[in-house]
Amino acid sequence: MSLVGAQILLAFKAGRAFRREGSNTVIPNPTKGAIYLTNGADDLLHFIWRNRDTGELEEDLILFQFDASFVKVSQSGSGRVYVLKFASSNQRHFFWMQDASSTRDTEFVENLNGLLQDPDFHCHWSTLSSTGGAGPSSRAGASSSTAAGPASTSGFQATPQQLATLQQILMSGGRGAVAQAQAPDLSLTDILTPGNLLPLFTQHPELVPSLFPHLPPDLPVPPSADALQRIIHSPQFRSAVSNFDQALRTGMLGGLVRTLGLPEEAGTGIGPFLRAIQEQADREQDNNTMDTD
Amino acid sequence: MSVDDETSGWQLTESDPGVFSELLKSLGVPLIVDDLYSLDADSLAALQPLRALIFLFKWIPTSSDSTSQRAGTDDPEFAGFFAHQVVNNACATLAVLNALGNIPSLESGPKLSELLRFSADMDPQTRGLVITGSDWLREMHNALSPPSAFSLDGLGLPKKAEEAYHFVVYLPVMGALYELDGLKPHALRHEAFDDSGEGWLKTARQVIEARINTYPVGALEFSLLALREDPLPSLRSQLDRAQAPGQSPAANELLAKISNENAKRERWAFENSLRRHNHVGLVQGLLLALAKGGKLGVAEESAKKAMKERIEQRRARGADMDEDE
């Protein structure tokens, strides 16, 4: 059994699952693996399960067109357990999807079934970007390289997710440095302070009701200046301001600010955003003056 | 929104009693979570009946706690409910499930009952996978994190510090105190406890205090949460009985307790509505109001000044550190 000389039609991360003896319960096995569908050197269609830790091809089934199908086990709690079954026999092979995100499960399954029905089937991919899946062969490459996880010394095998957690914690300092490198000259968090806003509400009470539509719809109290004060002081609001400030600093919010009725230019930084707001305010006030004239 | 590998679509939630209590409500469990500011006997007694304590602390990978002497023994044969934490950001919900799964004859909604039943015979790793693979649970969990109007993923922003928090559950299971930590391979068994007096809480206090003391002063950031029975139904029925003639002092005390509880629920509901809300519209509205009030320019200038001072302070601190080295 070998992948050498085989043409990989499709590959994705999946583990095996086994039926518990004497019951209908299917238990996912934690071993990391991947499913490959290949056109073998023998010119036959192979369904291969490869252990991503050892690299061994532990399962190699030769399939005939229309005979096999890969379907979801609807009773499974996680919703990610699938069974490979055959029209010609009662054989069942269970698998569970191991891509960290379940969003692409359906896509893999549709393409797999497409290929099981028709070896010339062309796979459809909705996204080829984020998970690095440019094509079947490069996906397979990516899977096997991530599989070479280091064994932990404690005897407790860390899961890829746990390793990722650690990695993320270790890296977060470094990533912070990147974002801070663009030394900003001001922050929205220093503008939307209670110190700036509360005097505004007292001096211009007429501006307060215009803010009510922006308050949470499920606020347990009626919108009021008091509720607004509570919100401005809240850690949730402050962290939202800080997140927006950070996102704006990337200069990549052109699309978002358009939905706020601002020119795309406003999404390129804090300065441009504030200028656009000032222009919006001037424009609206001009209109009001004209209306009253 | 893009979903990255480490989180599997689980968003970061705040470790706040209001968030936990809302999750418990969604799960159909008649329990709430309260902050626990002290482990002394009176504080604990006030929160009875207590089901579990959740200890959360800043996870410092360098100060490996395997090197220090830790109480308790690994229990690979643990017959209760224990799931590994296999996904980032799910830690809070996982800790709650590790507690709920061990509460005998727990009243709960159909989905949770089914999940607990379905995963009953699994090993901790598989159970963790099944839990974090449950779409409905992830949705309940994510319901209390802010919606992303903009995707911050992939923009190289520093991640929030909260994700470094680590959750450990302490609770009584079959006569002994257990410690359930989803990042550990096994459940940890502490001493059997004496049912008289404070029972398991006495053992829990000793274990938690000892654990806190293994960290150098100031090196550990932690908080404690109490998973307890919702006191409102019992307070209300006590009030019904106390409102009989001649019982007014007791009734007044109960009324005060009930109104405290209700005020707390109102605060939770208020904060949770803020957690679920996308505040970008409000940010724009407030800036617009400042501009219309003629105060945006001034605010901008003072914000620039504040930033400049902050950068200078940081530089000064950085310079100090260089001298130290």
Q: Domain for residue B155, yes or no?
A: no
The verdict on whether B166 is a catalytic residue reads yes
Q: Which of B196, B212, B229 is the last residue of a domain?
A: B229
Q: Domain for residue B156, yes or no?
A: no
Give me the residue from A190, A234, A285 closest to B271, CB to CB: A234
Half-sphere exposure of B232 (CA within 13 A, CB side): 12
B218 shares its domain with B264: no
The verdict on whether B91 is a catalytic residue reads yes
Listing DSSP states for A43-81 in one string gives SSEEEEEEETTT--EEEEEEE-TTTEEEEE-TT-SSS-E
B115 shares its domain with B139: yes
Has residue B245 got a pLDDT over 60? Answer: yes
B141 shares its domain with B270: no
Domain CATH for B23: 3.40.532.10
B266 shares its domain with B177: no
pLDDT tens, residue by residue, A100-113: 778 888 888 888 98
DSSP-derived secondary structure letter, B192:
E
B185 shares its domain with B289: no
Percent of chain B with pLDDT over 70: 84
B242 shares its domain with B223: no
3-state SS class at A35: strand
B248 shares its domain with B213: no
CB B10 within 8 A of CB B86: no
Q: Which domain holds residue B57?
A: 5-148+161-229
> pLDDT tier at B47 (50, 70, 90 boundaries)?
very high
B136 shares its domain with B240: no
Say yes or no: B6 contacts chain A, CB-CB below 8 A.
yes
Q: Which of B229, B264, B286 is the last residue of a domain?
A: B229
Q: Domain for residue B119, yes or no?
A: yes
Q: What's the confidence (pLDDT) of residue B83?
A: 96
B204 shares its domain with B289: no
B220 shares its domain with B316: no
Say yes or no: B39 contacts chain A, CB-CB below 8 A.
no
Chain B CB contacts of A185 under 8 Å are: 304, 307-308
Give me the residue from B156, B183, B306 closest to A175, CB to CB: B156
> pLDDT tier at A132 (50, 70, 90 boundaries)?
very low
Q: Domain for residue B17, yes or no?
A: yes
- The mean per-residue pLDDT over the stretch A1-7 comes to 68
Q: Domain for residue B250, yes or no?
A: yes
Q: Which residue of A has its CA nearest to B67?
A: A154
Number of domains in chain B: 2
Look up tokens 């007694």; give the residue.
Answer: B45
B220 shares its domain with B320: no
B47 shares its domain with B112: yes
Q: How far is B140 from chain A (nearest CA, A)?
A: 15
Q: Is the peptide bond before A30 cis (omega within 30 degrees of 0)?
A: no
**Cα four-point dihedral sign B72, B96, B262, A233:** positive
Q: Which of B84, B141, B166, B190 is catalytic?
A: B166
Q: Which of B169, B203, B229 is the last residue of a domain?
A: B229
Percent of chain B with pLDDT over 90: 58
pLDDT tens, residue by residue, B144-158: 877 654 544 444 444
